[in-house]
């Protein structure tokens, strides 16, 4: 099939390359000429394991190309995927769908009659119905249909989640739209991927509801970590006990610094905002607590760091391990690690941050902080080391060797993924949230 992908950021670029990789003819479109040029030259504008390989295969096969003309993209495809960003609005917790609306306004006059527009961006429930009305106003005779097909990509696993997703949700209004999307995704369905047909409103809710539930599990175990600190209990053992219950499960029950990134925080807030607009705010009151617990974890980590430094940050050298909001990514949007680093620096600490992939993006966010890809340099003469992003490489650090570089062998494992006994046996004073 001939597909267009409107927006070639993280979501759009991965979707375009993966759809071309399974055999479709794909045209990716974006107004950012620099991004389009980089993709066309096989240079990913972000770090994502495996993406460069699939991008190269798709371009070499001739199934994928890119353009800066949305009008050209509109004329090219039979199916048009909207993959633009929907960040949190500056003036509220609601999602900013301005880019989604703009894409529809450009597409409506130029798409071929009978085309299907498919949203993948994360939007407030009711968006498909609103855009369908907009299409009827702009192109009443085109017969263009609109559906919603939310993405469930995990950064660090985006290629896998595109080619072998846990499920495909297609929110459609007509049998014809369902038939088109089932044909498009036939190679994935043949490999055993479950395709779930819903109405568009349910599909729109699917992504924010899934992220809100994951956020709730994370904040719940982080709340228990604070209780464990007060009671002298061990939150990791508690998480194992809870996770052994098949109704609960162990995934997303790892206590620590909390969630960040471009999805969970803004999706939780967007669902709260939309529920308020719909007049059902009490139904999502729990999510306000989820958001507050998440923010509290960052403050708790800063307080613990100050305590381990004797009550003051002023002039103290601090090494931060990690800048990205999660491992296997260079994404620093709403990064808990950067939030903690900035808070310590604002209180007078001399902060040096290490990361394997996110140094340049992080430097653009916090230009006054010292960033490095040299782990030894990051830790040299530090009085406290904070482990804030769970890159697997940090788990392989030799604590005895690192102890020779720092001024004081003091560690906070804010991700609860290091072997504290190993660090303590090497002479470190090591703490973690929720563990004795």
Do the domain assignments include residue 203?
no
Angstrom CA distances, 154 to 62, 98, 258, 384, stand at 27, 24, 16, 31
Question: For residue 126, what is the domain's CATH number?
Answer: 3.40.50.720
CB neighbourhood size of 143 (10 A) = 13
Residue 287 · residue 217 · CB < 8 Å: no
pLDDT category at 373 given cuts 50, 70, 90 is: very high
Residue 313 tokens, joined: 């940050």
User: pTM for this structure?
Assistant: 0.93
Bridge pairing between strands 2-6 and 116-119: unpaired
Find where tokens 């071309």 sit: 20
Residue 141 pLDDT > 80, yes or no? no
Round to whole Å and give the CA distance between 436 and 225.
11
pLDDT band, residue 1 (cuts 50/70/90)? very high
Name the band, by pLDDT with cuts 50, 70 and 90, for residue 349: very high
Is 83 labeled as catalytic in the residue annotation? no
pLDDT computed for residue 67 by the predictor: 97
Closest CA to 329 of 160, 157, 159: 157
Quote the number of domains for the chain: 3
**Domain termination residue (choose one: 232, 260, 292):** 292
Residue 424 has pLDDT above 80, yes or no: yes
CA neighbor of 146 nearest in space, from 126, 172, 108: 172
Q: How far apart are CA 293 and CA 155, in angstroms?
A: 23
Q: Are strands 370-372 and 195-198 parallel, antiparallel or unpaired?
A: unpaired
For residue 53, the enclosing domain spans: 2-198
Q: Are residues 264 and 340 in the same domain?
A: no
Which of 207-220 are b and which e, b meaning 16 or more Cβ less than 10 Å from the residue's Cβ? bbebbbebbbbbbb
Q: Which of 61, 28, 69 is nearest to 45 (CA)?
A: 28
Q: Which of 18, 83, 263, 410 is catalytic?
A: 263
Task: Round to whole Å and give the CA distance between 106 and 179.
Answer: 25
Residue 102 CA to residue 218 CA, distance in Å, equals 35
CATH code (residue 213): 1.10.1040.10
Last residue of a domain, one of 258, 292, 326: 292
Domain match, 308 and 335 both: yes
Kindly state the DSSP code that residue 317 receives in the 8-state scheme: E
Domain termination residue (choose one: 198, 231, 256): 198
Q: For residue 413, what is the DSSP state?
A: E
Q: Residues 365-384: what's their mean pLDDT?
A: 97
- Give the DSSP letter string of 269-282: HHHHHHHHHTT-GG
Task: Mark whether 15 and 113 lie in a shared domain.
Answer: yes
Tell which residue, 35, 118, 127, 115, has the closest CA to residue 74.
115
Indicate if 379 and 421 belong to the same structural domain. yes
Closest to 106 (Cα-Cα) out of 1, 3, 2, 6: 6
Per-residue model confidence as pLDDT tens digits over 210-261: 999 999 999 999 999 999 999 999 999 999 999 999 999 999 999 999 999 9
């Amino acid at each position: 099939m001939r597909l267009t992908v409107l927006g070639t950021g993280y979501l759009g670029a991965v979707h375009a390359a993966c759809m071309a990789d399974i055999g479709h003819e794909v045209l990716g479109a974006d107004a950012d000429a620099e991004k389009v040029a980089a993709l066309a030259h096989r240079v990913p504008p972000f770090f994502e394991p495996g993406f460069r390989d699939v991008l190269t295969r798709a371009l070499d096969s001739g199934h994928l190309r890119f353009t800066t003309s949305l009008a050209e993209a509109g004329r090219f495809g039979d199916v048009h995927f909207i993959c633009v960003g929907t960040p949190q609005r500056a003036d509220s917790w609601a999602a900013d769908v301005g880019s989604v609306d703009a894409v529809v306004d450009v597409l409506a006059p130029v798409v071929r009659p009978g085309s299907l527009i498919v949203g993948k961006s994360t939007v407030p429930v009711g968006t498909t119905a609103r855009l369908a009305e907009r299409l009827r106003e702009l192109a009443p005779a085109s017969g263009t249909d609109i559906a919603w097909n939310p993405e469930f990509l995990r950064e660090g696993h985006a290629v896998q989640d595109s080619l072998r997703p846990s499920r495909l949700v297609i929110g459609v209004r007509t049998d014809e739209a369902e038939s088109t999307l089932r044909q498009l995704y036939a190679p994935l369905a043949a490999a055993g991927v479950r395709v779930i047909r819903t109405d568009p409103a349910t599909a729109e809710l699917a992504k924010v509801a899934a992220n809100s539930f994951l956020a709730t599990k994370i904040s719940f175990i982080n709340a228990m970590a604070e209780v464990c600190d007060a009671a002298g209990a061990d939150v990791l053992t508690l998480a194992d006990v809870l996770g052994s219950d098949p109704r609960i499960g162990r995934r997303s029950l790892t206590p620590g610094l909390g969630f960040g990134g471009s999805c969970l925080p803004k999706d939780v807030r967007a669902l709260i905002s939309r529920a308020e607009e719909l007049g059902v705010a009490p139904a999502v009151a729990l999510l306000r607590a989820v958001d507050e617990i998440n923010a509290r974890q960052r403050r708790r980590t800063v307080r613990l760091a100050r305590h381990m430094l004797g009550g003051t940050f002023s002039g103290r050298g601090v090494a931060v391990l990690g800048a990205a909001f999660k491992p296997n990514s260079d994404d620093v949007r709403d990064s808990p690690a950067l939030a903690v680093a900035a808070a310590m620096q604002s209180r007078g600490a001399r902060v040096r941050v290490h990361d394997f992939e996110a140094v340049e993006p992080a430097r653009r966010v916090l230009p006054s902080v010292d960033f490095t890809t040299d782990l030894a340099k990051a830790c040299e003469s530090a009085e406290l080391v904070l482990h804030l992003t769970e890159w697997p490489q940090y788990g392989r650090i030799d604590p005895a060797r690192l102890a020779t570089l720092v001024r004081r062998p003091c560690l906070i494992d804010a991700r609860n993924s290091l072997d504290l006994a190993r660090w303590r046996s090497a002479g470190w004073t090591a703490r973690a949230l929720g563990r004795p």
